[in-house]
Chains A and B, each alone.
Chain A
Amino acid sequence: MNRHLLSMRDLSAEDVVRILDTAESFREVGTRVIKKVPALRGRTVVNLFYENSTRTRISFELAAKRLSADVINFSTTGSSVAKGESLKDTALTLQAMGADAIVIRHASSGAPHRLTTWVRGHVLNAGDGTHEHPTQALLDLYTLRERLGRLEGLRVAIVGDVLHSRVARSLSFGLVTMGSEVTLVGPPTLIPPEALAWGVQIDHDLDAVLPKLDVCYLLRVQTERQRLEYVPSIREYARRYGLTSARVAMLPDEAIVMHPGPMNRGVEIDSDVADLPRSVMEAQVTNGIAVRMALLYLLLGAGGEEG
């Protein structure tokens, strides 16, 4: 594995298996009364979040704490960043304070890459702009392997705003690496044809795709104003691409439904569908902690490499 986790494209199939297997061994820690191992005692992990995030930040925080690392949560509101400090200066400050790893969430694509040119420590991408969200993809791969027993040959549809989705990119790259068959589904304005270069299929008709799936992965519909020009209305989007109870019946019996959260119930997914046993969102969240423990452990601890 590389020194940083920036993109799923940097991981080989062997890397992914190693991460998922390591996560498997950490899964058990979360079921103990005392949910802690000493693997990263004395190491410092900084959560540097330039965007609001509940689940990813808390998940990383718990992952680091369960490994006994010291965790600093640096949120940008009310901090030096609010006073206009640059990303570079903030990073250098954190490095000077002894950060061994920086977990960064940022609205700008490539911000984690920029960070690696300025700091010596490990950089973990916790979501950058419309680029990638590799830890989400890895926890999704973990959940898929856990639920369906394999990744190779799985038929997965990723439905929604692929153009602006960092989840779609990371998950597509990861699934293709692991030998799954990926179809991107959504209106043509939100599915760039250049995505064919990722080794995926593209379809614009969800109903035609559903009967041939093992996994239906729904992306969150982003409702910021500038995103709305790509579809006539949220209502029309929900009508054509929302996973309704009627549509979920078209899935094969064993197929599962996934969503990275937070969900817009009634838009990309009906409330009833979200609460079905085949919808595995809770498992995704739980597995996220184990997968992030594995990543921190493999980057900071296991290799014996000093930051």
Chain B
Amino acid sequence: MRRVVEVTNIKKSFGKLRVLDKVDFYVKEGDFKVIIGENGSGKSTLLKIMVGLLLPDEGEVNVLGIDVKKQWKKLSAKIGVVLANERSLYWKLTAWENLDIFGGIYGVPKKERRKRMKELLERFGLFEYKDKPVEDFSTGMRKKLMVCKALIHNPKILFVDEILNGLDPSSTREMVEYLSELNEKGLTVVMISHVLHILPESADVALLRNGQIQMEVKYKDIRSKRREIYEVFEKLIKVGEVDEKDILFSREGYEDKA
């Protein structure tokens, strides 16, 4: 599979704080990649660099063959992005109006747009609330709608920042199942998450620590081991490594395997 996201030697500082330090990261077509790390480790910064919202101080970013630093608007039509901010929807408008407007902005033809809006809203159980303003929605409903909005133009890659936070268990499962289903149909997913116990089996997990991608592992390889998943991840995120019995590959090993 070809690489659809290639981040090479990225450095990013805010003032004196070095957030990313020579990060190399790639995502292959059809991957479900989850970036994990402590709060403030630079996950969102990395994601924002990949979608073009942020410019790195150094390094190259290439997504779907597009130089993101120079042509981020060209890229925007081909990717979907869900940020953590619930306010990224127009709260005074209804769910239907939000999707209609964003579908229009992304150039989805009216007939196709309406069909897709219906499908997406039905998939997330929001269709019966389509005429309610977003301000009347719960957090979970808004997050689902944010995903619908990001998918309205049928993107090739979906970038998702902490979408699972604030969702109840059944909504979390529903969201992960849907993302997994889309991934199985060919959508590449790059997700940041602190909710790690329910990721799809096929997911690859990348640990961002001390400004670098320190380790990449198959999610199923962590999950199948002896300890509670949270305990393993807690140690992984904090210390940057876990017992050999909890994890199968180092970053190098993973890459060899991949």
Asked if A and B bind, the verdict is no
B interface list, Cβ under 8 A from A:
none
A interface list, Cβ under 8 A from B:
none
